[in-house]
Chain A
Amino acid sequence: MTQTTRAKPFSLQNLFSRFAIYAVLIAFALYFLMPIYVLVITALKPYADVSVARMWELPQGLYFESFVVAWSKVAPNFRNSILITVPAAIISSFIGSINGYIFSKWRFRGSNILFLLFLVGMFLPYQGVLIPMVLTLRSVGLYGKVVGLIFIHCVFGIPITALMFRSYYQGIPDELVDAGKIDGCGFFGIYRYILLPIAAPAFAVVLLWQFTSIWNDFIIGLVVLSNPTLAPVTVAVQNLTGSFTTEWNVQMAAALIAALPTIVVYLALGKLFMRGLLAGSVKG
C-alpha cells in the first residue's frame, strides 16, 4: 500500500522492538480467538465429556451430535431469520441507493437539514420508540408477523443506507450527472444509466452491513416476533441457552449455528469491507 519510511538500519534495539510488536499482536489475536475456540471445542464434545475441569482440552474425537440436537431446536428460527434478513437487506439497500442519490445529486432547499435529521434518528436508541412501535404494529395487524419485522427493519435502515450511498455517490463527479442531463436523461435515467451501473461496490457494502446487523438483531425480533416458533434465531438461541436444562455442548452448537451465516459472509467479503473502510483515507 503506502510506501512508508525507509527501513531503519539494523540494530539490536530495533530487532527487540519488532519482536515485542509481534508478541503483543499475537497475544491479542489469541485473546480474540479464545471465545471462538471454546465455543467450537465445547460444541464438538459429547455431553459426558463437557466437564468443567477439562473445559480447555480438545475433544477426543469429532462428535457432531450436539449440532444435530441444536439444529432440531433452532432450525425453524434459522429459516425465519433468512426469511426476514434477506428481503429486508435487499429492500433497504435499494431504498438507500435512491435516497442517497437524491441527497447527493438532487439537493433541494432543506435537504441538508433533512439529512441531518435522518442521521440523528439513526443514532438514537430503539428504546425510545419501542412502545409506540408495538402499539402501531398491533393496530395494523402486523404485530407478531414476519412481514411486520421486515417492515420495521426497512424503516430503521433508511438513515444508514442513505448515508452510505450518499457518501459513495459524492465521489462520483457532478459533471457526469450534468452530462447525462445534457444527453436528455431525466431523474430516473441518470440513476438507471449512470449511477446504478457503477454502484456495485456500494451495494455490496450496504448489503453486507444490513445483512449483518439485521441477522444479529435481538431486541426488535424479541419485541415484535416473540412467538418461540417464529422468532429470529438470535432470540431462539437466548431461549435455548437461558434454560438450565439445555446441555452446554448443545448451547454452544446452537450459538455457532446462529453465528455461521455472518461469519461466512464476513470471511468471504471482509476484505471488501475493510478495503472500502480504508480506501477513503489512503492517499495515492
Chain B
Amino acid sequence: MDSTWKVESIFLSMAIGQTSLPATVHRVRKPRINRDMLLAILVITPSIIAVAVFIYSFIAWTFWISTVNWNTSVIDYTFVGLKNWTRMLSSSRFQIDLRNLALYAGGFMLQCIVIGFLLASLLDQRIKGESVFRTIFIFPFAISAVVTGVAWRWLMRPETGINLLFESVGLGFLRSKWFADPTWGILFITIAASWQFSGYVMALYLAGLRGISNEIKEAAQIDGCNSWNLHRHIIIPMVAPVTLTAIVLTGMASIRVFDIVTVMSGSGQAFSTDMFAFHMFEQMFTASRFSLSAVIGAFMIILSAFLLVPYLISVRRESEQ
C-alpha cells in the first residue's frame, strides 16, 4: 500500500514539479455529462461556495472596508476613497513595519534555507541513526509558535539563558540584548522562528536530494568531480525547484507572522519588533479602527500575491512542459 502512496505533501508535490496544478495528461474522452458527473459537481458545490464566500469575497470585503470611513466602533460605510491608504502608508509605524518585514524575511529565509539544505545534504550521506536525527530536526515543526516563543523568550532573557551559556564557555563578548535590541531586535526573533521551521525545509530538500538518481552522481564522480563541484554544478541546480518552494513558503510565513512575535516581544521598544499582523490586530481590537486595520490586511494580501502568483505560474509552466 505504501508504494501507491505518492506525494501527499502539497509543498513537496509542487517542489518536484508534480501535478499539483492542471495535469499534463489530456485524455481523449467524450465530454459526457451524465448523472454521476452532475452528482460530482453537486457534491463539490458547497465547498466551492465556502471558498468563494469565506476566502475570496471576504478579501474583497476587506478591500472595501479599507476605502470607507469606519475608524471607530460605530459601523460607518461612508466611502472615502484612498484616504485610509495614504494615512496608513505614510504613518511611521507602517514604514517601520516594512523595514522590519524586510529584515525578518531576509533573516528567516536565509537561516531556513541554509540550515535546511545543510542538514539535508549531511543526512543524505548514508548516516547511521538518520531517522533519529530527522525526528529531532523536524520535531519543532510539530510544536506551536506560541510554545516556541515561550521557550525562546526564556532563552533570550538578557541576564540568563544563552548569554549565561556564552559566559560560562568564555564567549562573554557575544552577549546580546537579543530581541530587546532597539535596532536589530526583529532579527533575533527569526532565530526562534527558523528553529521551528528549518526542519521542514530540510525534509523538502531531503526529498529533493533523494530524487536525484545515483547514476548522475556516479557519472560526475567518474568524470573527476569533487564534492564541491558536484554540489555546485549538479546538486544545487537540480534542487532549484525545492529552493524556489522554500523561498515562497518562508516568504509567505514572514508576511503573516503573528504568533511568535506576539508571544516574544509584541511590538517592542519603539516598534522595533512590530510586524504587520500585530499592527493590524491592534488597530482592529485595541483601537477599533477597522478601516485602517483593513488597509494593513489588504496590503498583506497584495504582498503575498506578488510572491505567490509568479510562483504558481512558473510551477504550472514547468508541469506543462
Contacts and interface: CB of A to CB of B under 8 A. Distances in A.
Max count, chain A CB within 10 A of own CB: residue among B8, B165, B214: B8
A125 B255 contact: yes
Interface of A: 1-5, 21-22, 24-25, 28-29, 31-36, 38-39, 42, 52-53, 55-56, 95, 98-99, 102-103, 106, 108-109, 112, 114-133, 136, 152, 155-156, 158-160, 162-164, 167-168, 170-172, 174, 186-188, 198, 200-202, 205-206, 212, 215-219, 223, 234, 237-238, 241-242, 248, 251-252, 255-256, 258-259, 262-263, 265-267, 270-271, 274-283
A265 B144 CA distance: 13
Contacts of B57: 132
A16 to B, nearest CB: 13
Contact of B54 (A125, A129, A215, A241): A129
A128 B31 CA distance: 38
Contacts of A36: 139, 151
Q: Is the interface of B mostly helix, strand, loop or mixed?
A: helix
B20 A128 contact: no
Given A5-B217, A120-B308, A168-B8, A32 B207 contact: no
Contacts of B142: 212, 262-263, 265-266, 270
Max count, chain B CB within 10 A of own CB: residue among A55, A56, A202: A55
21 contacts: A53-B160, A98-B43, A102-B44, A103-B44, A114-B48, A123-B304, A124-B304, A129-B55, A131-B297, A132-B61, A133-B54, A168-B8, A187-B40, A187-B43, A198-B1, A262-B144, A266-B138, A271-B131, A274-B203, A280-B13, A280-B207
Interface stretch (B90-98, B173-181, B276-284): B276-284
A140 to B, nearest CB: 12
Given A56-B164, A119-B312, A121-B56, A215 B255 contact: no
Contacts of B131: 271, 274
Contacts of B134: 274
B144 A216 contact: yes
A133 B316 CA distance: 31
Interface residues of B, number: 119
A276 B8 contact: yes
B205 to A, nearest CB: 11
Contacts of B140: 32, 35
A283 B7 CA distance: 13
Contacts of A128: 58-59, 62, 297-298, 300-301, 304
A283 B20 CA distance: 20
